Amino acid sequence: MTGFKRIGLVGRPDHSGVVDSLQRLLTLLAAKELTVVLDDITAGLIDSSGQQVCKREELSSHCDLVIVVGGDGSMLNVAKYVAADQVPVIGINRGRLGFLTDISPDDLEARVEDVLSGKYSVESRFLLDVAIKRKDGLEILGCALNDVVLHPGQAAQMIEFELFVDDKFVYSQESDGLIVATPTGSTAYSLSAGGPIMHPDLNAVVLVPMYPHSLNSRPIVVDGDSEIRLVVAAKGSLQPQLSCDGEVRYTASAGDEIVVTKKDVALQLVHPLDHSFYQACRSKLGWGSRLVRVDD
């Protein structure tokens, strides 16, 4: 995957550093005589005269590489649009943690130069599809790179549901909900709820209960190809919500059957050659570095 000619740029609004990084990218790409495509939101952040502009959901059909300037939230937003076309994505971190956007603004030119010259690695990150089961089949509600979450919404109330994995009954539960997270999402909301950190190469999904009404309820890691089904309890007063990467997609009703499965296409995430997941954990999560040994 080399020889990028048409570069899509996506920037996070309302962040002063993003504009600076976008301007530097435009200068770099212009010097290399590469075509730049801006999504309509990013075009409003900078002087986009002379640049090709399209809607964000159409971006991947106009370019062969997308550079996201922002935080992990910006990458999550872009992922659902570009994964289907298998357009690779790389991130310039202008957010906080930056597990998905791993290029520092200080190294922007050098790192992007490396990518454009073919010095990079590509990592496939799978997404989850979430659907509601209807009499005539499944209705897709959305997809998520990090997690699908069943939660109570604005009201503080316990949710009752049943969990099935590959049509096998696991348990019924009363809790604040359930997080269904990919390895990518294992360092996000799932981690805050007590879930394990999973290496991105794993083909696995973690099911993390949120404040369960039982001391015995713990996160469960299942095969990534499993079909996960949640059946909302037949209790009319409950109206839990279903979110994909933090965006509400559906308000559930009593008796609804929610189905979560692996999406058939993955996001192609570009990294610098020296990228290490463990180094990212050390940096973002404050893990200890190697001990310094002093000779006697």
Least Cα distance to 13 among 98, 95, 79, 103 occurs for 95
- Kindly state the tokens that stand for 19: 């504009």
Q: How far apart are CA 252 and CA 151, in angstroms?
A: 10
> Which amino acid is residue 217, in one-letter code?
S
Specify the CATH architecture of the domain 6-120+272-285: 3-Layer(aba) Sandwich (3.40)
The residue assigned the tokens 């290029």 is 103
Please confirm, yes or no, whether 147 is among the known catalytic residues. no
- Kindly state the tokens that stand for 81: 């649009």
Q: What residues does each domain of the chain span?
A: 6-120+272-285, 127-264
1-54 pLDDT, tens per residue?
Answer: 458 999 999 998 877 799 999 999 999 999 999 999 999 999 999 888 888 999
Q: In what order do the strands lie in the sheet with 177-181?
A: 220-223, 204-210, 177-181, 147-151, 241-244, 247-251
Least Cα distance to 253 among 129, 166, 132 occurs for 132
Q: What single DSSP character describes residue 103? A: B
Q: How far apart are CA 11 and CA 26, in angstroms?
A: 12
The alpha carbon of residue 133 and the mean position of all alpha carbons in its chain are separated, in whole angstroms, by 24
Output the pTM of the full model.
0.92
The alpha carbon of residue 223 and the mean position of all alpha carbons in its chain are separated, in whole angstroms, by 19
Instruction: For 127-264, give the CATH class.
Output: mainly beta
pLDDT, tens digit only, all 296 positions of the chain = 458 999 999 998 877 799 999 999 999 999 999 999 999 999 999 888 888 999 999 999 999 999 999 989 999 999 999 999 999 999 999 877 778 988 999 999 999 999 999 999 999 999 999 999 988 888 999 999 999 999 988 777 888 999 999 999 999 999 999 999 999 999 999 999 999 999 999 999 999 999 888 888 899 999 999 999 999 986 666 789 999 999 999 998 888 999 999 999 999 999 999 999 999 899 888 898 888 766 65
The alpha carbon of residue 100 and the mean position of all alpha carbons in its chain are separated, in whole angstroms, by 8
Catalytic residue among 39, 72, 129, 256: 72
Judge whether 6-120+272-285 and 127-264 match in fold: no
